[in-house]
Amino acid sequence: MCVFFDQLYNFAHWLAQNRDEAEDLVQETYAKALRGFSSYQQGTNFRAWMYRILRNTFLTSRTGLKATQTVPLENDEDGPILAVADTQTPEAILIDRSNQALLESAIDELPVHYREVLLLCEVEEMSYQEIAETIAVPIGTVMSRLSRARVALRASVRQKLQRT
Amino acid sequence: MACEQWRSQLDTYLDGELSAESMRTLDAHLRTCPDCTADVLSRVQLRRSVKAAGTRFRPSSEFRSKVQKQIGTKRRWSWNLGWTLATATLAILLLASGINNYFAKQGLREQQLYSELADLHVATLGSANPVDVLSSDRHTVKPWFQGKIPFTFNLPELQNSEFTLLGGRVAYLEQSSGAHLIYQVRKHEISVFIFPDTTAIASLGDSSKARQQQTFNVASWAQGGLRYVVFGDTSADDIQKLSSLLKSAGHA
Ligand SMILES: [Zn+2]
């Protein structure tokens, strides 16, 4: 079985937010990859290619369309990254095993465009270049989106911690 | 630069995406600034938690076998796909560790050939009768191939080496036949493939240094119109040593 299978599935589940749809996504991704294998450009990033197929499949699915429509993406192409820099000292955010669930829901509640860059960066450990290839945006956009995603995640975690 | 300016770059720093120069300057700053260091540590901790939380979903075993079946009907493709994915992962690792990305420049054709050789290697060693001529004597093995393959070759004397010849069989790679020899070194099996350098195998580049393909180490070279590929899950050093022995025998 391909080395990315587990990771692809995990990513699909985070995007689709349910098991059945995640399975459909992964299956369709493999089907498309096998069919389009000859069109894969050698020398380009293969992992990014696979994730791109998965992501595009998701975005054109019903759930995907709904997820992107309900959360309009702010214009993150402009504006200096500094503007969204986290000014609060983050030492208050101490996550341990006991509130893992809290973090999971914080990630889950992120708008899909933030969720995906965060996961591609921190879970898949892709480089900015790879993320840019995967989601087909310039590196600058990857950086600002990632920065906003992290600020949003921290804010959400802080809020949830205060509530508990 | 003031702390505030650094703060906005700490995540980029932890992503390993700052320029080498900024990296050095920030490193120096962190050694003298407990506030920024505390900030970095807290970010590292959050990341660890995100990574743990972010890998929570696992495919069920039923689903795994379902997909396996789906791609199993195109076994050759799936092998190649898996192989390409594996080399892609390796390329990413190499890139991440700052080593010049060699695999990115390798042709897909080469990867396909290596995947077929890996297939032969694994299938042969996994079968009940790995070799058709079972002998450690090169003087028995060499003549056995006569009439079975369209060329002859020389095998090295192994008396003063750690290697043992286990035997050989005829191998087929994309419609051409060649020799597949199995050697052993410290419980590791090494495959040596010899094919005319005019066949499909010729598209494998020379690599005098053993290099890694998936979990295998590989060396490949052409000599006297034949292409040799040495392939095994043993160290690069072993692959090199056996390669030199074969090379000197080939010259004889
Ligand atoms: Zn500082």
Q: Could you read off the pLDDT of B58-80 as tens digits, one per residue?
A: 999 999 888 877 765 544 444 45
Which A positions 52-71 lie with beta carbon below 8 A of chain B? Answer: none
> Percentage of chain B surpassing pLDDT 70?
75
Q: Identify the domain containing residue B146 by its residue range.
A: 122-250
Q: Based on the domain organization, do B243 and B128 belong to the same domain?
A: yes
Centre of ligand 1 to C-alpha B247, Å, is: 59
Query: How many domains, chain B?
Result: 2
The answer for residues whose C-beta is within 8 angstroms of residue B218's C-beta and 6 or more apart is B114, B207, B210, B211, B212, B229, B230, B231, B239
Q: Distance between CA A119 and CA A104 in Å, rounded?
A: 12
pLDDT of A86 > 80? The answer is no
At A38, the pLDDT band (50, 70, 90 cuts) reads low
Cα of B5 vs centre of ligand 1, distance in Å, is 9
Of B18, B33, B51, which marks where a domain is finished?
Answer: B51
- Please provide the DSSP assignment of A71-89 as one string: SPPP-TTSS-GGGG---S-
Report yes or no: A41 at the B interface, CB cutoff 8 Å: no
> Is the full-model pTM beyond 0.95?
no
What's the mean pLDDT in A64-84? 58
Examine residue B126 and state whether it is found in any structural domain, yes or no.
yes
Contact A95, A157 (CB under 8 A): yes
Asked if residue B43 and residue B154 are part of one domain, the reply reads: no
pLDDT tens digits for A119-135?
A: 999 998 889 999 998 99
- pLDDT at position A78: 46
What confidence category does residue B106 fall into, taking pLDDT thresholds of 50, 70 and 90?
A: very low
Nearest-CA distance A27 → chain B (Å): 6
Cα Rg of chain A (Å, integer): 17
pLDDT in tens, B123-161: 777 666 777 777 788 888 888 888 888 888 889 888 888
Buried b / exposed e over B56-85, threshold 16 CB at 10 Å, is: bbebeeebbeebeeebeeeeeebbbbbbbb
A112 pLDDT band, cuts 50/70/90, is very high
What are the tens digits of pLDDT across the range B86-97? Answer: 555 555 554 444
Contacts of B11 in chain A (CB under 8 A): 146-147, 150
Better-predicted residue by pLDDT, A66 or A79: A66
Q: What angle do CA A74, B51, A43 make, to 5 degrees?
A: 75
**Residue A24 corresponds to which tokens in the numbers above?**
């459909």
pLDDT exceeds cutoff 60 at B197 = yes
Confidence of residue A80 (pLDDT cuts 50, 70, 90): very low
Whether residue A139 has pLDDT greater than 50: yes
Mean pLDDT (whole number) for B100-106:
37
Q: How far is CA B220 from CA B79, B104, B106, B209, in A?
A: 21, 18, 14, 8
Neighbours of ion ligand 1 (CB under 5 A): B 3, 33, 36
pLDDT tens string B202-239:
767 776 555 655 567 788 888 888 999 998 878 888 88
The 10s digit of each residue's pLDDT in B9-62 is 899 989 989 888 898 899 889 889 888 888 888 888 888 889 889 999 999 999
Q: Residue A78 C-alpha to ligand 1 middle, in angstroms?
A: 27
Residue B105 pLDDT level (bands cut at 50, 70, 90)? very low
pLDDT band with cut points at 50, 70 and 90 for residue A67: confident
Q: Which of A38-47, A120-129, B183-192 tops mean pLDDT?
A: A120-129
What does the pLDDT read at residue B160? 82
The domain locations on chain A are 1-68, 80-164
More confident residue, A48 or B1: A48
Q: What pairs with residue B213 in β-bridges?
A: B216
Asked whether residue B196 is assigned to any structural domain, the reply reads yes
Co-location of B127 and B30 in the same domain: no
Structure tokens at B239: 């692959």
CATH of the domain at B185: 3.30.200.100
- Alpha helices in chain A, H assignment, sequence order: 5-16, 19-35, 46-59, 62-70, 100-109, 112-122, 128-135, 139-163
Domain boundary residue among B51, B73, B89? Answer: B51
Is B111:B83 a contact under the CB 8 Å cutoff?
yes
- Evaluate whether residue B106 is within a structural domain: no
B219 in any annotated domain: yes
Q: Is the pLDDT of residue A25 over 50?
A: yes
Residues B53, A122: C-beta atoms closer than 8 Å: no
**Cβ–Cβ gap B82/A1 under 8 Å:** yes
Q: Do A103 and B50 touch (CB under 8 A)?
A: yes
**pLDDT at site B100:** 34
CA-wise closest residue to A153 among B161, B250, B43: B43
Closest approach of chain A CAs to the CA of B29, in angstroms? 18
Q: Select from 1.10.357.10, 3.90.550.10, 1.10.1740.10, 3.40.50.150 the CATH code of A1-68.
A: 1.10.1740.10
pLDDT of residue A91 exceeding 60: no
Q: Which of A9, A85, A146 sits opposite B59 (nearest CB)?
A: A9
What is the percent of chain B where pLDDT is above 90?
12
- Choose which CATH entry (3.30.420.340, 3.90.1180.10, 3.40.190.290, 1.10.10.10) describes domain A80-164: 1.10.10.10
CA atoms of B198 and B205, how far apart (whole Å): 13
Same domain, B24 and B127: no
In a domain, B58, yes or no: no
pLDDT grade for A146, boundaries at 50, 70 and 90? very high
